[in-house]
Amino acid sequence: MGIGEQATTTPALVIHELATNSLKYGALSAESGMLDISGSATDDEVCLVWTERSGPTVKPQAEAGYGSKLLNRIITGQLRGSIETEWSEGGIIVSVKMSAQRLAA
C-alpha cells in the first residue's frame, strides 16, 4: 500500500507526535522501555497500533492537551479515521484507523 504525495505529511505528523510524547512521558523516556508498532491494511482501511511497555506508570490526562487534540483532528478530519487510547497498567496503547483511500490521495 502506498501513501500519496498529498497525504504524506499527515501520517508523519501522527508518528512524530506519538514518538515525542513517548520520549517525554512514556516508554521511550525509560531505559527499560519498549515500543512496538504494528499495522494491518485492507482495501478500505489502514490500522496502526502503537504499544508502549515497561516505561513509567501512565494515567489518562484530565484534559486533552494540544497534541492529543491535533491528532484527533487530523486523523478524523484529514484521514477520515479514528484514534483510541488505552491507558493500561503496563503502558499506553494507541490504535489509529485511517481511510486507505485518503492515504493514497
How confident is the model at residue 60, as a pLDDT?
80
Check: CB of residue 42 under 8 Å from CB of residue 85.
no
The CATH code of the domain that includes 32 is 3.30.565.10
Q: How many domains does the chain have?
A: 1
What residues make up the domain containing 15?
5-104
Q: What is the reported pLDDT for 83?
A: 95
- Name the pTM for this structure: 0.90
Which residue, 20, 64, 44, 43, is CA-closest to 35?
20
Euclidean distance between CA atoms 38 and 19, whole angstroms: 14
Q: Which helix (H) or strand (E) holds 21?
A: helix 9-25
Q: Give the tens place of pLDDT for each residue, 5-35.
A: 888 888 999 999 999 999 999 999 999 999 9
Quote the CA–CA distance of 37 and 52 in Å, as a whole number.
9
Q: Is 44 left (phi over 0), alpha (psi -120 to 50) or beta?
A: alpha
pLDDT-derived band at 65, boundaries 50, 70, 90: confident
